[in-house]
Amino acid sequence: MSIIKVSANSRTSAVAGAIAGMMREHNRAEVQAIGAGAVNQAVKAIAIARGYLHEEGLHIVCIPEFISVTIEGKERTAIRLIVEPR
């Protein structure tokens, strides 16, 4: 299962579709964002995905956590949002 990486410029509807697809296929999705704009887009995408999946009878929850990632040799703090069925 791959991690869905979100940037501040990500289209929320596209990310929501990816989250919904991961939930349908793997029953779990991981969304990663670095920075306030990216986290904003990720949370909005999860809300949209929740609507898509709710119509199919699947209720989801989101569990946030901090993680450290290395980008171009530098340590950065990211937010990982674990999406699971309720």
CATH number at residue 71: 3.30.110.20
Tens place of pLDDT per residue across the chain (86 aa): 699 999 999 999 999 999 999 999 999 999 999 999 999 999 999 999 999 999 999 999 999 999 999 999 999 999 999 999 99
CA distance 77 to 59: 29
Strands 29-33, 4-6: parallel, antiparallel or unpaired by DSSP?
A: parallel
User: What is the pTM (predicted TM-score) of this model?
Assistant: 0.93
Overall number of domains in the chain: 1
Determine the structural domain holding residue 78 and report its residue range: 4-85
CA distance 85 to 35: 26
Residue in the block written with tokens 């991981």: 30
